[in-house]
Structure 1
Amino acid sequence: MGLTVAEIKRRLQEADEREFAVLERSLVADARKGVRDAVEVARRRIEAERAERERLAALYAYERELAQGRGAGVCVGLDEVGRGPLAGPLAVGAVVLPLEPAVDGLNDSKQLKPEVRERIALEVKRVAVAWCVEYVEAADIDAAGMTASLVTAFRRAVARIEAAGVRPDVVLLDGNPLRLDEREVNVVKGDARCASIAAASVVAKVERDALMCRYAQEYPEYGFDACKGYASPAHIEAIKRYGLTPIHRVSFCTAFTQPALF
C-alpha cells in the first residue's frame, strides 16, 4: 500500500467493519510486526463492537417478544435501586422507550461506570416516551417494611407514567412477582435482558446517587456521597459515633445504633 506503519495504524483505528475487511485483505502480505499487531488490535475492536451491537439488539428484541406474546404494544419497565442501604430512600424508576432510536451502551446500571451511567441516563430521558423516579422515604420503609414499600413505589411510578398520558399494555418488573398490577410481567435479571428495565435501573440509580450527594452536604459526617447510604465501614463507624439522622432506616441499623443526635 506504500503506507507507513503509523498511517496504517491510524486507518485501522478509524475503520468500521466493512472498511476493516478491505484493509485486512490488502495487508495480508505485510509482514511488519507493527502492522500485524495493529490488525489484531483492530480485529478485536471490531469483534467487540459487533458483540455490543448484538447485545443491544437482543435487549430490545427480548422486550418486543414479551409484548407481542401478550398481544400488546406499550411496555413500561420498572426497577428499584436502594433496597439494601442503611440510609436514604428506596428509588423506583419507570421508563417507556420507543423502538427507535436504541440507547447506545444501555445496560444494567450495576455494569456501568458512574460517568457512563450519567451519560446513558441523559440519553434515556431524551428519547423516552415517558419516565419517572418514585421514592419511599426511610421512615415509611421502617413503618411498612420493604416488600410493601416496593409495591407502593412501583404503583406510584406506573400511576405517574399514566398521568403523563401513556397507558402501558405491559408492566415489566425486574425480579420476582409482586402482583402489583394485572399487567405485570416478571423478568428475572430483567435489568440485563429488557431495554426498558435496564433504562429504569440506570435512571433510578443516577437520580438516587445525586440525591445522596445532596444529603452528604446536609450530613457531612456520614460520607453519603461515597457510600450512598450503604453499610460501608466508615458509615457504620459514623453511626456509632454520631447516631442516626432522619434519613436513616432505624430498622436496618439496630446492630450498631445509639440514640439519634438529629
Structure 2
Amino acid sequence: MGANNMLEFERELWDKGYRNIACIDEVGRGCLAGDVVACAIILPMELLIEGVKDSKKLTPKKRETLYDVITENAVAIGIGSVDPKTIDELNIKECTLIAMKKAIEALKDKDGNPVTPDFVLIDAEKLAIDIPQKSIIKGDEKCHGIAAASIIAKVYRDRKCGEWAKKYPDYSFEKHKGYGTKVHIDAIKKYGPCLIHRESFLKKIIGARK
C-alpha cells in the first residue's frame, strides 16, 4: 500500500464530519513476560508522517526517531496496559481489549486535557464502547494512525523492558523484550519465572525444567 493510501480510512471518516479519530494498536500480546500495552492516538487531519508504518518493520533506532516526531505532532495520546498477574487471571485476549479501552480513556493533549474521540479505528479488534468504531485487519499495515499507534506502543513497552531488565538482570529483557527467544526460555528453565512472567504462558517451559 502506498504511503498516501495509508490515510484512506481516516479520509473516509473526515469526509463524514468526524474530527477526533482515535487509532489503536497493541504490543506484547505474544510475550512470555511483562504487560500487554495499547496506544490510542489522534493525529491532525491530513498529517502524513514520512516513514510511519507497522512498528515490526522498523529498526529500533527508526522507531525512536518516529516516536519523537509522532508525539510532537499528535493531537492526543493515551497509553493503556494490563499486568502479567491480570493476564494470568483472565486471558490475553480479554486483557488486550482492556488495555485498548484504558488507552482510549487515557487520551490527553499536550496540556494534559482529556480528549474524547468521536470515532475509533482499531487493529483487528472490536471493543465494547459507546463510540463508533471500525476494526481493520492488519490495520498497522493499512492505516497511518494505527501504524503510528503501533510505534508509540512498541517504544513505550521496549523502554519498560529496559526497566524490567535492571530489576531482573538474569533474563535479558532488554534484548528479547519478553518474547520467547532461546535466550529467554533457557533463562526461565535455569532460574524459574520471575514476578513479571505470565505463568499461564509458561506451562510447557516450566514442565521442561531440569
TM-score (norm 2): 0.90
Secondary structure of the corresponding residue to residue 257 of structure 1:
helix
Taking the aligned partners of 2:130 and 2:140, their CA distance within structure 1 comes to 19
Give the equivalent residue in structure 1 for 2:56: 110
1:212 is matched by which residue type in structure 2?
A: C
Give the equivalent residue in structure 1 for 2:99: 153
Give the equivalent residue in structure 1 for 2:118: 169
User: What pairs up with 1:116-195 in 2 under 5 angstroms?
Assistant: 116-161=62-107, 164-195=113-144
- Contact 1:171 1:181 (8 Å CA) reproduced: no
Match of 2:150 among 169, 177, 201: 201
- Contact 1:134 1:153 (8 Å CA) reproduced: yes
Match of 1:63 among 1, 7, 10: 10
Greater RCO structure (CA 8 Å; 6+ sep): 2
* 1:75 matches 2:15: no
Question: Which structure has the greater CA radius of gyration?
Answer: 1
Deviates more, 1:169-178 or 1:112-121: 169-178
- Contact 1:91 1:208 (8 Å CA) reproduced: yes
1:63 is matched by which residue type in structure 2?
A: E
What is the CA distance between 1:133 and its match in structure 2?
1.7
Secondary structure of the corresponding residue to residue 26 of structure 2:
strand
- Contact 2:43 2:145 (8 Å CA) reproduced: yes
Give the equivalent residue in structure 2 for 1:98: 44
User: What pairs up with 1:11-30 in 2 under 5 angstroms?
Assistant: none
Q: What is the number of equivalent residue pairs in this alignment?
A: 204
Task: Indicate how the Cα distance of structure 1 residues 156 and 109 shifts in structure 2: closer, same or farther if over 3 A, else same.
Answer: same
2:177 is matched by which residue type in structure 1?
A: K
What is the CA distance between 1:100 and its match in structure 2?
4.7
Over aligned residues, Cα RMSD in angstroms?
A: 1.8
Task: Indicate how the Cα distance of structure 1 residues 251 and 67 shifts in structure 2: closer, same or farther if over 3 A, else same.
Answer: farther
- Contact 2:27 2:153 (8 Å CA) reproduced: yes
- Contact 1:109 1:198 (8 Å CA) reproduced: yes
1:57 is matched by which residue type in structure 2?
A: N
- Contact 2:117 2:131 (8 Å CA) reproduced: no
Taking the aligned partners of 2:176 and 2:32, their CA distance within structure 1 comes to 10
* 1:257 matches 2:198: no
User: What pairs up with 1:37-52 in 2 under 5 angstroms?
Assistant: none
Unmatched 5+ residue regions in structure 1? 1-53
1:58 is matched by which residue type in structure 2?
A: N
Decide which structure has greater helix share.
1
